[in-house]
Amino acid sequence: MTIVCRHCNASEGFYVRERVSGSSTTYYTKTGDFMADQSSMYDHLNHHGGTVAYCMNCHKAMGKKEDFESGDVEKEATFY
């Protein structure tokens, strides 16, 4: 099922605004390069809020996040 914005009919997806607090650690190599695996960077962050889904195209509220999220992960992301 494709999620379509009722305001602009876009189907690019949605985003959720959250407040994030906590601390993170960024890893570098011995030459000062950013290490490819930064997955632990987010381990000690706390997310608050994030209940409203907003259209990625028109940025208008689409409804409650829980009504749209599937819980599936599209693909694993690598951060650089």
Bridge partners, 14 (sequence order): 55
Q: What is the pLDDT of residues 15-35, one digit of tens each?
A: 999 999 999 889 999 999 988
Q: Which amino acid is at 32?
A: G
Taking the C-alpha atoms of residue 58 and residue 51, their distance in angstroms, rounded to an integer, is: 18
Number of domains composing the chain: 1
Bridge partners, 2 (sequence order): none
Question: Is residue 59 in a domain?
Answer: yes
Question: Is residue 29 in a domain?
Answer: yes
Taking the C-alpha atoms of residue 54 and residue 64, their distance in angstroms, rounded to an integer, is: 9
In this prediction the pTM is 0.65
Expressed as residue numbers, the domain containing 40 is 14-67
Question: Is residue 46 in a domain?
Answer: yes
Taking the C-alpha atoms of residue 55 and residue 4, their distance in angstroms, rounded to an integer, is: 9
Question: Is residue 52 in a domain?
Answer: yes
Share of the chain above pLDDT 90, in %: 51
The answer to whether 47 and 18 have CB atoms below 8 angstroms apart is yes
Question: Is residue 43 in a domain?
Answer: yes
Question: Is residue 33 in a domain?
Answer: yes
Question: Is residue 75 in a domain?
Answer: no
Would you state the pLDDT for residue 77?
A: 53
